[in-house]
Copies of this chain bind each other. A is one copy, B any other.
Amino acid sequence: MKLESKLSEVGMNLKSSLIRELLKYASVPGSISFGGGVPDPNTFPRHELAEIAKEVIEKEYAYTLQYNTTEGDDELAKQMIKLLERVYGITGLDRSNLLFTTGSQQALDLLARVLLDRDSICFVEFPVYLGAASAFRMTFTKFETIPLLDDGMDVDYLERKLKELDQAGKLKHVKFIYTVPNFHNPAGVTMSLEKRKRLIEIAERYDIPILEDDPYGLLRFEGEHLPSLYKLAGPDRVILLNTFSKILTPGLRIGVIVGHADIVRKATLAKQAADLCSPSLNQRMAARFLERYDLLEYLKPGIELYRKKKDTMIKALEENFSDIKGAKWVNPQGGLFVWFTLPEGYDTMEMFDIAKEKKIYYIPGQAFTIDDSKSSSMRLSFCLPPEEKIIEGVKRLKEVVVEYGKKKGLI
């Protein structure tokens, strides 16, 4: 069988993600990796989850070991509705507004499937969250990218683009604006309240849905909590994606779509064909955890740990890179990532060869572009390495930058 001749267009176009390929090297002994965005397993409530797992299998086996409904666990839905009210001040939700998914990656995929066609246009931020781009890309949609500034997306740019598309008669093809408003992955920036309001105003005017992805919202180190787009504009305008991956544990693979019942229903039907249901066990475990423990209290030590690590990384960047003119970094108010940009002329993908030699790993900015274009930026994740490794890693990174800079005649 010649497989090539049997593949679909999707099948032919699928390529391994850059991140995956790069991170293969990160397991070499002596390596320091700022690559992966995975939480520190020591922040997971393992004892509590172990007890809960045993209990819900023993006592609720007829649910936890059986097929789930496609919509997911009703008990988790109750807890989630409470949590959304407590944390986001979102009210008026009922069961029909929630669909639990296999991580928020599946939420992105399901929404792409029910919203995007080949001739559709979706707006994403630049740099873009890679997982979203890979899910949306499977539909062969067209992308428009909105540059990210220090206070979130360039809404003026968005407005101009929408106006252009409107004048060209293409507005009907625009299906949604995708945004990660809090502690953006990879850019680290947070959308200001003013921009949130303007984004909503623009989206209302052109009647474009907003897809708000908020995996990190609860991981705030400093500054004030800002209202979610969903809270500000409601289900007629915004679909909110949330996940337990960064606030409880990624291993349970629980994401959730919060939105208008009509769109949730369509995503549910797509999920039915995509995997029938996600495991009941994992969802019931999360439900019981939320019932018994105060998630916000439980999160505090983890947030403190990440804040310290972030401060350590920012300090190390200041100490090492203040003499590189034009080097700059975003100091995030939360989340897991620092976005680090080198002066013009640097190509962080090309530079990666030197990084590999020095056993320090990052994700080149190129991984977060739609068109695979060169980038002088990189994503640095501070969540996994211990503080002394962060310090050592940034030192190595400096050596990498200097060596590459000299080779290229940039310094």
Contact = CB atoms under 8 A, between A and B. Distances in A.
B8 A109 contact: no
A49 interface: yes
Interface string A230-273: 00000011000000010001111100000010110010011011
Contacts of A341: none
A324 interface: no
A172 B14 CA distance: 21
Given A113-B11, A115-B11, A57 B66 contact: no
Contacts of A176: 6
Interface stretch (A134-142, A147-155, A296-304, A361-369): A134-142
Interface in A44-59: 44, 46-47, 49-51, 53-55, 57-58
A287 B272 CA distance: 26
Contact of A105 (B58, B63, B260, B275): B275
A64 interface: yes
A116 interface: yes
A322 B40 CA distance: 66
A120 interface: yes
Contact of A53 (B17, B54, B120): B54
Interface residues of A, number: 85
Nearest to A235: B1
Contact of A281 (B113, B251, B269): B251
Interface in A155-214: 172, 175-176, 207, 209
A349 B373 CA distance: 56
Q: How many copies of this chain are found per oligomer?
A: 2
A136 to B, nearest CB: 9
B252 A65 contact: yes
Given A41-B65, A44-B65, A114 B54 contact: no
A176 B6 CA distance: 8
A11 B114 contact: yes
A14 to B, nearest CB: 4
A276 interface: yes
A237 B114 CA distance: 33
Given A102-B102, A282-B282, A7 B274 contact: no
A117 interface: yes
A281 B49 CA distance: 11
A90 interface: no
A70 B277 CA distance: 18
Contact of A266 (B14, B137, B175, B273): B14
A3 B260 contact: yes
A64 B57 CA distance: 16
A226 interface: no
A5 interface: yes
A8 to B, nearest CB: 5
Contact of A7 (B16, B245, B266): B266
A252 B278 CA distance: 9
Nearest to A276: B105
Given A44-B61, A68-B251, A116 B209 contact: no
20 contacts: A3-B263, A5-B172, A8-B113, A8-B114, A11-B113, A14-B269, A44-B61, A46-B57, A49-B57, A49-B65, A50-B54, A53-B54, A65-B249, A67-B251, A102-B102, A105-B276, A106-B274, A131-B273, A135-B274, A281-B282
List 3 A-B pairs, minimum CB-CB distance, nearest first: A11-B114, A65-B251, A50-B57
